[in-house]
Amino acid sequence: MATPPGGSSSGNWSYGPAQGHGDGSSNPYAFPSVPHHRQPYAPQGPGPSPYDQPPAPRIQPVQPQRRTPEPAPAGATNNPLVRPYAMTGGRTRPRYQLAIEALVHTTAQPHQMQGQLPEHQRICHLCREIKSVAEISALLTIPLGVARILVADLAEAGLVAIHQPGGDENAGGQPDVTLLERVLSGLRKL
């Protein structure tokens, strides 16, 4: 898989300026400040946007509530601590299973980044030089699972290209012989 997944996205599920068709009044999946109630959990694999479906609570909230849940104010709270999965809207899984070593690079022009989440912008900025998902996580100090989701968002929005590592599907994704030979040759030349 060397191409960004889902080029023909029907789902308008980036967090950009709300411009969705048929969002109606509620637009329940605008970036929530606290991930409770509805869980916009995206099922694995390509398919119609889950966000167009009636919200069915597929999974429980990621972060159990310590206090009685109360409606979060729309604005920012004073609490400087953002729980890790808040910036993903509570999703714990990306739509695409990104390898930890999958390579990411930005294809976006600066003007395309306007209106994106700060985290998305930081990733795009970082990935002007090719970086792995692991490096994005480490360099931006965001947890690995969160980085995966944010990168998948950007790919969906067409703002980054992803190079998933090649692998032999018949061998459980293990590298094929050609790749091993190239790695061996490369190591010997070091």
Partner 1 sequence: MVAGGFGVGKTTFVGAVSEINPLRTEAVMTSASAGIDDLTHTGDKTTTTVAMDFGRITLDQDLILYLFGTPGQDRFWFMWDDLVRGAIGAVVLVDTRRLADCFPAVDYFENSGLPFVIALNGFDGQQPYNPDEVREALQIGPDTPIITTDARHRADAKSTLITLVEHALMARLR
Q: Which is nearer to partner 1, 2 or 30 (CB)?
A: 2
Residue 103 binding partner 1, by CB under 8 A: yes
Residue 2 binding partner 1, by CB under 8 A: no
Residue 138 binding partner 1, by CB under 8 A: yes
Q: Answer for the pair 160, 5: CB distance below 8 angstroms, yes or no.
A: no
In whole angstroms, the minimum distance from the beta carbon of 91 to partner 1 comes to: 10
- Distance of alpha carbon 40 from alpha carbon 89, whole angstroms: 7
- Distance of alpha carbon 28 from alpha carbon 30, whole angstroms: 6
Q: Answer for the pair 55, 90: CB distance below 8 angstroms, yes or no.
A: no
In one-letter notation, the amino acid at residue 189 is K
Residue 85 binding partner 1, by CB under 8 A: yes
> According to CB under 8 A, which one of 104, 117, 146, 155 is a site residue for partner 1?
146
> Which of 95, 108, 92, 102 is closest to 133 using CA atoms?
102
Q: Which is nearer to partner 1, 60 or 77 (CB)?
A: 60
Q: Which two tokens stand for residue 84?
A: 């890790």
Query: Interface with partner 1 by CB under 8 A: which range of 25-33, 61-69, 115-123, 152-160?
Result: 61-69
Residue 44 binding partner 1, by CB under 8 A: no
In whole angstroms, the minimum distance from the beta carbon of 58 to partner 1 comes to: 12
Segments in the chain forming alpha helices (H): 118-126, 133-139, 144-156, 177-189
Q: Which two tokens stand for residue 152?
A: 């998948």
Query: Interface with partner 1 by CB under 8 A: which range of 5-13, 42-50, 117-125, 169-177?
Result: 169-177
> According to CB under 8 A, which one of 134, 154, 156, 170 is a site residue for partner 1?
134
CB atoms under 10 Å from CB of 133, counted, come to 23
Q: Which two tokens stand for residue 82?
A: 């953002």
Query: Rule CB under 8 A: which residues touch partner 1?
Result: 59-60, 62-64, 66, 84-85, 92, 99-101, 103, 130, 132, 134-135, 137-139, 143-147, 165, 167, 171-177, 180-184, 186-190
